[in-house]
Structure formats: structure tokens, C-alpha cells
Amino acid sequence: MRQIIFDTETTGLDPAQGHRIVEIGCVELVNRMSTGNNLHIYLNPDRDSDPEALAVHGLTTEFLSDKPRFADVADEFVKFIQGAELIAHNAAFDVKFFNAELAKTGRGAITEYCDTITDSLLHARSLFPGKRNSLDALCDRFGISNAHRTLHGALLDSQLLAEVWLAMTRGQDALLIDVDDNNQGANGGVVLAKFDASGLPVLKANDAELAEHETYLAALDKSVGGECVWRKMDAPAAAN
């Protein structure tokens, strides 16, 4: 399973108003493991950033003046995302910018090159309805340090989102995990087997333990003025 966590920085909010991408950051995960095979590109947008956007990312027109244009890196970008699941926070924003940039180069929409696109913000809202689900808020919730993040950056935000995404979607297939060489996946990840309880020993209570249990239940009966809930739960088992 190949996933690309991605983010952009732009000159403004709407490509329909002529705004462009100025930075692309992509982090590759294979079988939920970071590979280090990331893509990070600064772009010359051939225009100034809006003051509000510049305050967010800090990428000045002067800094971007000698950087490649999107058309120069379009093939590299399309090849990198080919067949992967793309994951972004508020994905609709990034997707509309990529679609506009790809259209300028005569290419189709971004969905023609990837397997699917997942919005981590929508996923977070389903897990934490009514709560703040910005990237910063999720970092705080999952204990992920973002202290080094003074400005937004596409690669840095993608790296943080990768950690958040793994935390949000982490599952466990077994209670007991025995890690050895035979449990290593092709990319170094641990392969978890389905838990088989058939080999666990069954330890039955002895007479003294059963007597102590009965004494405890009798005390519960007295406290509730009748039959406690545990006796009602034991009744079907006793009938069998």
C-alpha cells in the first residue's frame, strides 16, 4: 500500500483569480512506514503572493524568482504520485490548485494519475465531531511536537500530517505481538497475525475461590435489596 501525504503553499486562495502554487511537499508511506522518498519543490509563480498568504508561508517573490515553474516539474510530480492514495488536510483546496496547474500544461485532473484522494480533515471531523481539527490541534491531541513550526511549509506540514494520519488510523490486530525475523514485512514493517486464543490455558476457580465469590455476591444482593446483576448474568450459564 503506497500513500502520499501532500500539501501546497500558494500565492492566494483561489486559482480562478490567477493564484498559483509556490511550494509542493510530498511524504511517501509504504505499508504505513515512512520511506524517506519525499518530493519537495519550490515554484516560481510568476506573480507576487497576497500579503495574507506571504504572512503564512514567508516565500518571497525574490526567493522564488530563480525556481522552476510548474510546467518544468509536472512530469516529475505526476510520476511521483502515480497509482498512490493521496492524503491531504482540506484536500479540496490543494486539489483545485493542482487541477488548475495541470490544465495549464495540457494534462488532465490529478485524479487521473492517483488511485484515490483522502481528506484527513474530514476523517478527523468524523472522529472528533465538534472539536478543533486543524493540523496544530491534531498535533496537540496526539502529542506530536510542532514546536519547530513557526511558518507553514508544504514539506514540514506533510511530515507532521503523516505522523497525525498514522496516529488517527492506527489499529491493532492482536493483543500479543511476538516480533522476530519471520514477522518482518518486505519494507521492515511488523506483520501482525490474527490472534488465536485456542492455545491459551484455561484456569478454573478452586473451591475456596468459588466460596469467596459467593460471599461477595451475597453482599451485593444485600446492598441492592434483591438479586444483583452478576447473578442474572450467571443464570443462563448455570442453566446450561
More confident residue, 231 or 136: 136
Cell 488548475: give the residue: 100
Q: Percent of the chain having pLDDT more than 90?
A: 65
| pLDDT at res. 197 | 60
Which pLDDT band holds residue 64 (cuts at 50, 70, 90)?
Answer: very high
* Per-residue model confidence (pLDDT) at position 173: 35
Query: What is the residue-wise DSSP string for 26-49?
Result: EEEEETTEE-S--EEEE---SSPP
CA of residue 37 relative to chain centroid, distance: 18
Q: Is the pLDDT of residue 190 over 70?
A: no
Q: CA 106 from chain center: how many Å?
A: 32
The bridge status of strand 85-88 relative to strand 2-10 is parallel
Q: What domains does the chain contain, in order, with CATH numbers?
A: 2-168 (3.30.420.10), 204-239 (no CATH)
Q: What is the pTM of this model?
A: 0.69
Note the pLDDT tens digit of each residue in 138-155: 999 999 987 765 557 899
Share of the chain above pLDDT 70, in %: 82
Residues taking part in catalysis? 152
CA gap 52, 49 in Å, rounded: 8
Least confident window among 9-23, 200-214, 215-229: 215-229
When comparing pLDDT for 6 and 197, which is higher?
Answer: 6
Contact 91, 121 (CB under 8 A): yes
Nearest to residue 5, comparing CAs of 154, 108, 153? 154
For CA atoms 185, 190, 196, 199, the dihedral sign is positive
Instruction: Say how far apart CA 95 and CA 15 lie, in whole Å.
Output: 11
pLDDT, residue 192, reads 53
Tally Cβ neighbours within 10 Å of residue 107. Answer: 18
